Amino acid sequence: MKALVYEGPYELTYRDMPDPEPGPGEVLVKIHAVGLCGSDMHAYHGADERRPPPLILGHEAAGVVQGSGRRVTINPLLPNYESANSKAGWTNICPDRRIMSMPPRQGSFAEWAVVPEGSLITVPDHVSFEKASLAEPIACGWHAINLSEERMRHKLAESEAVVIGGGAIGVGAALSLRAKGAGKITILETNPTRMPILEGLGGIEVTHPDSYDASPHLVIDAYGGERSRALACAIVQPGGFIAHIGLASAEGGIDARRLTLWEIGFIGTYTYTDAAFRETAEAIFDGRLGDLDWPETTALADAPDAFRAHDEGCMATPKTIFIP
């Protein structure tokens, strides 16, 4: 098969690779669409020790199961279902969790991928593979909002919510907030090239962080850097709540004194539970998340150019989807 192989920092090769062979409980999926994630970019920079080269990256995928014709989207998070956390439904924080595109699992930037049968969700015929592949990134925001609703003092329908970052995770969080009926939603974005697409989402305001002067009940930090954490802590209102999704950097930005004095809730939120992934897929299928027409598609063979364009900050779209 043809695959995009991460060979080392800033080095990607589209080349022949051995066809994968499924083991017990696994199936072979012909990949029809696979998204470029921020974690793929981290690996591309050589900044993710969990993804050593050579490796096939990619984990936001949809395709067709070999032999059955079943159209599927793939949940790439692979927990140990016998762990205590998994049995409690917290599959995303299973201590033995793995994910496609981390050894020993190859990813989905390829014509074929081996997937555990239990990781598949059937995609209706009216939903494109490109839209189905968005279940994974959008589920991150959906899960964060599930956690926030359980813990925040204010009802979501009566709350003003802010999403920091207009990348795919931020857009997914904003669309999830809209689907769940948040009172007012604003995306804070610094990249002017993204503004036209973000402004076209509908029912969601978009502005530069420097121009935002309100005090929201809920802040979703979809970037996760020192400056975005400082901004979240500064703008959230007393008694409000911050959900931290992004993984841009590990340190700095937390104003622990303000969080304490004003009883502001803060939670780190990682990927999604199995339940949140299914809920997100169903929301895509029934149209609750909108048209989902904002990604850009390109051939997997041209992926190295897309990686470079994202790295240089000249991509207007929040998401690029590769077609093998």
pLDDT tens, 188-199?
999 998 999 999
Nearest to 273 by CA among 132, 145, 90: 90
Percent of the chain with pLDDT strictly greater than 90: 95
Q: How confident is the model at residue 87 (pLDDT cuts 50, 70, 90)?
A: very high
Contact 165, 189 (CB under 8 A): yes
pLDDT score at 270? 97
Residue 307 clears pLDDT 90, i.e. is over it:
yes
Least confident of 21-25, 110-114, 310-314: 310-314
What CA–CA distance (Å, rounded) separates 216 from 237?
6
pLDDT at 315 over 80: no
pLDDT tier at 108, thresholds 50, 70, 90: very high
- Give per-residue pLDDT as tens, 122-181: 999 999 999 999 999 999 999 999 999 999 999 999 999 999 999 999 999 999 999 999
How many percent of the chain have pLDDT more than 70?
Answer: 100
Give the pLDDT confidence score for residue 312 in this predicted structure.
Answer: 84
DSSP symbols for 72-112? EEE--EE--TTSHHHHTT-GGG-TT-EETTSTTS--SSBSE
Torsion of CA 141, 142, 146, 152, to 10 degrees: 40
pLDDT confidence bin for 316, thresholds 50/70/90? confident
Q: Is the pLDDT confidence value at 311 over 90?
A: no
Alpha-carbon distance 132 to 318, whole Å?
A: 16
pLDDT in tens, 48-73: 999 999 999 999 999 999 999 999 99
Q: What is the pLDDT of residues 170-211, one digit of tens each?
A: 999 999 999 999 999 999 999 998 999 999 999 999 999 999
